[in-house]
């Protein structure tokens, strides 16, 4: 994330039409054209002589770093939106389609502690708003199902069986 001085930071937010968490936050600054089209695409702004992508900046400012190797997908399909609640870090589409993407090395939290990939439909998202900042808690749906199946006496046996075969997912890279 580019280091922005306070003035640039507040200027950034003057260009955002901030709405409720569920709505699009439209960017009122410059937009780059979409590929193969003249329609406006992602919002941009310049800071310290560099061009920054508005939605990436907003996500990093309010949620946190984007894991290495992942791109932000607009779940609302509105390229001009910078609402972090509408942005989801995903591997590139090709990898999702093939379904054989190796876990991106050095990526933070691409997998839950049980090794389920934290992408696409396996993510349960909760949006939390504290004052001016929005955080998105991501949790693993597969794990939720596991925990449910471990309820009760029979569940305890299933849990024991699961852990007797369990090999923890190898954690690599960042210490974050």
Query: Where does this chain bind Zn ion (CB under 5 A)?
Result: 24, 76, 78, 81, 83, 86, 112, 114, 116, 140, 142-143
Distance in Å, CB of 160 to Zn ion, minimum? 18
Quick one: 34 or 48, whose CB is closer to Zn ion? Answer: 34
Find the distance separating the first CA and the last CA of the chain, reported in whole Å.
15
Quick one: 65 or 114, whose CB is closer to Zn ion? Answer: 114
Helix H or strand E encompassing 152: helix 152-164
Quick one: 52 or 119, whose CB is closer to Zn ion? Answer: 119
In the 3-class helix/strand/coil scheme, how is 36-96 assigned residue by residue? CCCCEEEEEEEECCEEEEHHHHHHHHHCCCCCCCCEEEECCCCCCECCHHHEEEECCHHHH
Distance in Å, CB of 155 to Zn ion, minimum? 17
Distance in Å, CB of 139 to Zn ion, minimum? 8
Distance in Å, CB of 36 to Zn ion, minimum? 22
In 10 A of CB 57, how many CB atoms?
21
Quick one: 8 or 142, whose CB is closer to Zn ion? Answer: 142
| Integer CA distances (angstroms), 127 to 41, 85, 130, in order | 25, 7, 10
Quick one: 83 or 91, whose CB is closer to Zn ion? Answer: 83
Question: Residue 173 region, left (φ>0) first, then alpha (ψ -120 to 50), else beta?
Answer: left
Distance in Å, CB of 49 to Zn ion, minimum? 29
Tell me which residue of 136, 147, 143, 80 sits closest to 113, measured CA to CA.
Answer: 143
């Amino acid at each position: 994330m580019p280091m922005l001085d306070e003035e640039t930071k507040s200027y950034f937010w003057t260009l955002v039409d901030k709405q409720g968490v569920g709505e699009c936050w439209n960017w009122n600054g410059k937009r780059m054209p979409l590929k193969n089209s003249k329609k406006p695409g992602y919002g941009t702004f310049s800071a310290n002589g560099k061009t920054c992508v508005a939605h990436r900046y907003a996500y990093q400012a309010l949620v946190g770093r984007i894991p290495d190797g992942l791109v932000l997908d607009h779940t609302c399909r509105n390229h001009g939106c910078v609402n972090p609640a509408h942005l989801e870090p995903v591997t590139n589409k090709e990898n999702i389609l093939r379904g054989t993407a190796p876990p991106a090395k050095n990526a933070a939290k691409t997998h839950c502690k049980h090794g389920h990939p934290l992408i696409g439909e396996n993510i349960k998202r909760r949006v939390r708003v504290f004052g001016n900042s929005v955080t998105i808690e991501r949790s693993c749906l597969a794990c939720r199902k596991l925990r449910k199946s471990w309820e009760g006496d029979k569940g305890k046996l299933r849990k024991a069986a699961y852990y007797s075969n369990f090999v923890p997912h190898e954690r690599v890279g960042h210490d974050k």
